[in-house]
Structure 1
């Protein structure tokens, strides 16, 4: 295996590369051709989370999926996980690589990052899509972000590392995701089971959780004029639909589609439906 890269059987591994853009060594996957789309996963996940959506997106776009700071195979310094810093560092990476996203799609915490990019004017996409957006601060130990790492920490509070392997690990991940209203097959569960056995990934996720604050972003929502689509699974047990409803009400050009029968990982549970919603929403962006 190439140093710093995911294992050979990782989803879309052929598209993986490492890009140094201070202060991070980013793991990115770039595929397809056309207007740029930037994919931002949620806390506790990695770029693999988009694997089932990428084939559809690459029919019309160059798709850029990255691992957020400290997540997956992105190596990051400590203390660099605040929302504003994450957004600035992603913008630095995009500028260095010549990427100009016309569409930004973010899941959970990645949705907050996408909106923060627009809030600061760091990237000026024509459309933003927020999937099950985590747009509230933590409440208690579990919080409202993608809850895997908080629950892993509860299982093993001294190391923050899930030690179990194989089928037991898959079973634990399945149980954790079920609490977020999500049901995935074994192929989709496997990457999460591997991620939460990586100490660097666990530490990076906990660092994001520790530094996460959305007060400034929520106050600024009325000033974000980029047309924004919120997609939210009706069964989401991690982030309630009312969070998206409040955001849509605050923003000048936003709408919400509630997806029946799916939970927090709507884009993995119902990729075809999510892809169709995105295609309809972004169809006219390039012509504007």
Structure 2
């Protein structure tokens, strides 16, 4: 059983392969996909996922935006060192180094689940200065429900046991294990996407990084910092989300100086994979309102006014 994915073997039919590139930044060997044209949007996937999760949403957004979508450290094809810090601060620092190496300044940050938390932290710490942040079922406060049984403190214990990623990867070869995990999300996704998640779940290195990431995060501190975030945030919440309850969106919005909630009926945690057209419409409509309110800010950043 392979410890990590191989681009030569596993990347042959990887979604968006034609947009993939590899580079080193901040001591990390990155896989990143860059596509589209226009103002830059940074796409950050969630824990245990990869760039594949954007495969149907990205082409819709790329008609208006330049998309920068990396595999997070230790996930899929992005490699890390044993010393790599996978905490929220560590992830934000790593992504900041990647953006510097690419010489891009995101106009928009779009994050799914834990990716939204990284986006918020990037903005809070001044690593990026976007016009807005889109949180798709974002993990922006201490979790409840099923997710509370997966994230700390249990993840801390699992991350300390080197055998755990191998055991999980071995179990994930059983299709029923993946089906159960996906059922917990409240989402129904295409078989092709399900197969990508199974590939990732049967890769010990990927699983080890996901566990280490979850074990290192402090969502309580993140939630407390929300009131100091000056960037407008759109909170897209799937009503059927079994990982991050949709009911979390409203209290998060109340803590934000400029927070807006869009609750989507019938969608789960992987909403952007279930109905990408619907998610793209929500994002671009909101983005249009942002640019209409302050077109001069866009001109200052070198982007055409809407």
TM-score, reference length from structure 1? 0.90
Deviation (angstroms), 1:216? 2.4
Deviation (angstroms), 1:77? 2.1
CA contact (8 A) 1:174 1:183 kept: no
Segment of structure 1 superposing worse, 267-276 or 72-81:
72-81
In the other structure, the counterpart of 2:11 is 7
Deviation (angstroms), 1:209? 1.1
CA contact (8 A) 1:112 1:133 kept: yes
Deviation (angstroms), 1:23? 2.0
Are 1:70 and 2:74 matched, yes or no?
yes
CA contact (8 A) 2:135 2:233 kept: yes
Are 1:102 and 2:111 matched, yes or no?
no
User: Please, which of 46, 52, 55 is the counterpart of residue 56 of structure 2?
Assistant: 52
Are 1:38 and 2:45 matched, yes or no?
no
In the other structure, the counterpart of 2:300 is none
CA contact (8 A) 1:181 1:264 kept: yes
How much is the aligned-residue C-alpha RMSD, in angstroms? Answer: 2.5
Are 1:203 and 2:183 matched, yes or no?
no
* C-alpha distance in 2 between matches for 1:136 and 1:270: 25
User: Which secondary structure state, in structure 1, belongs to the residue aligned with residue 135 of structure 2?
Assistant: strand
1:178-231 Cα offsets, whole Å, 9 max, x none, are 112111121121110101111110111011011111232211111111111000
1:104-137 Cα offsets, whole Å, 9 max, x none, are 0000000100100111011000010000011234
Deviation (angstroms), 1:284? 4.5
In the other structure, the counterpart of 1:20 is 24
TM-score, reference length from structure 2? 0.85
CA contact (8 A) 1:234 1:261 kept: yes
CA contact (8 A) 1:145 1:238 kept: no
* C-alpha distance in 1 between matches for 2:148 and 2:245: 12
Moved over 4 A (4+): 2-6, 138-142, 144-147
Specify every segment of 5 or more residues in structure 1 that has no aligned partner in the other structure, as ranges: none
Are 1:215 and 2:230 matched, yes or no?
no
1:52-73 Cα offsets, whole Å, 9 max, x none, are 1011111011111001111111
* C-alpha distance in 2 between matches for 1:16 and 1:3: 14
User: Please, which of 167, 170, 179 is the counterpart of residue 163 of structure 1?
Assistant: 170
CA contact (8 A) 1:46 1:71 kept: yes
1:47-94 Cα offsets, whole Å, 9 max, x none, are 111111011111011111001111111111235101011111111110
Segment of structure 1 superposing worse, 257-266 or 171-180:
171-180
Are 1:80 and 2:85 matched, yes or no?
yes
CA contact (8 A) 1:40 1:111 kept: yes
CA contact (8 A) 1:18 1:28 kept: yes
Query: CA separation of 1:3/1:191 partners in 2, compared to 1, >3 Å: closer, same or farther?
Result: closer
